[in-house]
Homo-oligomer: A and B are copies of this chain.
Amino acid sequence: MQTIRVDTPSAKYDVVTGGGLIGSLAPRIQRLAGKLPRRVFVLTSPEIWALWGNAFLKSFSEPPVTLFLPAGEKHKTMQSVDRLLRQIVAAGGDRGSMLIAFGGGIVGDVGGFLAAIFMRGIRYVQVPTTFLAQVDSSVGGKTGVNLPEGKNLVGSFHHPVAVFADIDVLGTLPDRELRSGLMESIKAGIIRDRALLRFMEEHADAVLGRDPKALEKVIAASMRMKASVVNRDERENGLRMILNLGHTVGHAIEQATRYKALLHGEAVGWGMIAALYVAHRRKSITGAQAARLENLIHLYGPLPTLKLRPAKLIAATGADKKNIGGVRRFVLPIGIGDAGVIEDLETSELQAAVGYMLSQAREPRAQ
């Protein structure tokens, strides 16, 4: 078991990863956040609850009120938020209540947002059940939902009081979701952690084979990177921007495919390949480094093929929310283990990068 500390101006809390956490949540939450209140809510998906509900309930003397969010990005909406808020009121929620978000990234984002805006903010705990949510979205206090016009356009910064990432629940995670989540760990390595990258190169079989020790090592390193960046830039004014490596093109792919064809990590994987291309062209990384990182991304693939018009993808990046006042911000790796943000990306560079990426994405890659 490993514990990582998040320490920002507005919140300090522990992120715990290891095995056997789900069955002992109640005492663990009490240790970190004090006595449980009269009303505890758990937001989860029907699928997760069917698999892990009994284990979850084991440590609670009084069972929390269960709220359900059906799986899928299409339920990450203001309408779901409205419905769930009303259910919380109907079940007697008040300012002292606590919410536990028990599920993947969508459950975590919606649960955090509910906690942020119900009665102007109640406490919540993240218990992420996918690899992606464990290494990425559960840490850092970003919460929110989509609008029909784009992803994560609505939300709040609202930190949990604790995060518990249980390795055991990954046992029931589909293989494709594990591989997708690992793209964010590769990103963590590229921007901040060479040792993590090397470990992932050398132990791909153990990681993909879900060896608990290997998974814990990758998850803890990824969370530690995320926490260290969030600690230094809570509100994404500067440094935190580098976490968006691969996300400008990644979000554009998701939007252009209506969030249906790819998992988030898969889109980020392709987005990182586009970013590596720009970085290499700008001599921010060498050709050898670009090739090495590209190979690592494909090692944790396969990434799904894409049949998209480049122009459509370029247009979709224009709506990216990293743009402030029309300036396009783009994250580039600097060597291996560092990254920076540029504001002078030329459309021609983006076109070339997207063209390169799409040429790779047209046909399945020979494994």
A residues with a Cβ closer than 8 A to B are 10, 37-38, 78-79, 81-82, 85-86, 89-90, 94-96, 116-121, 142-144, 147-150, 153-157, 235, 321, 323-326
Contact = CB atoms under 8 A, between A and B. Distances in A.
A323 B150 CA distance: 38
A112 to B, nearest CB: 11
Contact of A157 (B86, B120, B142, B147): B120
A156 B116 contact: yes
Contacts of A118: 153-154
A166 B10 CA distance: 34
Contacts of A150: 89
A168 to B, nearest CB: 32
A321 B149 contact: no
Given A147-B89, A148-B86, A117 B324 contact: no
A156 B89 contact: no
A86 B157 CA distance: 20
Contacts of A235: 121
Which 10 A/B pairs are nearest by Cβ-Cβ distance? A96-B324, A89-B149, A78-B82, A120-B155, A96-B325, A38-B325, A117-B154, A95-B324, A120-B157, A86-B147
Given A142-B120, A321-B119, A156 B153 contact: no
Nearest to A141: B120
A5 B220 CA distance: 44
A30 B116 CA distance: 30
Given A86-B147, A86-B148, A89-B150, A94 B325 contact: yes
B153 A37 contact: no
A143 B156 CA distance: 13
B156 A94 contact: no
A273 to B, nearest CB: 26
A188 to B, nearest CB: 22
Given A85-B153, A94-B323, A120-B157, 7 more contacts: A38-B325, A38-B326, A79-B82, A82-B147, A89-B147, A89-B150, A121-B235
A37 B89 contact: no
B321 A85 contact: no
A326 B96 CA distance: 9
Nearest to A92: B326
A324 B82 CA distance: 22
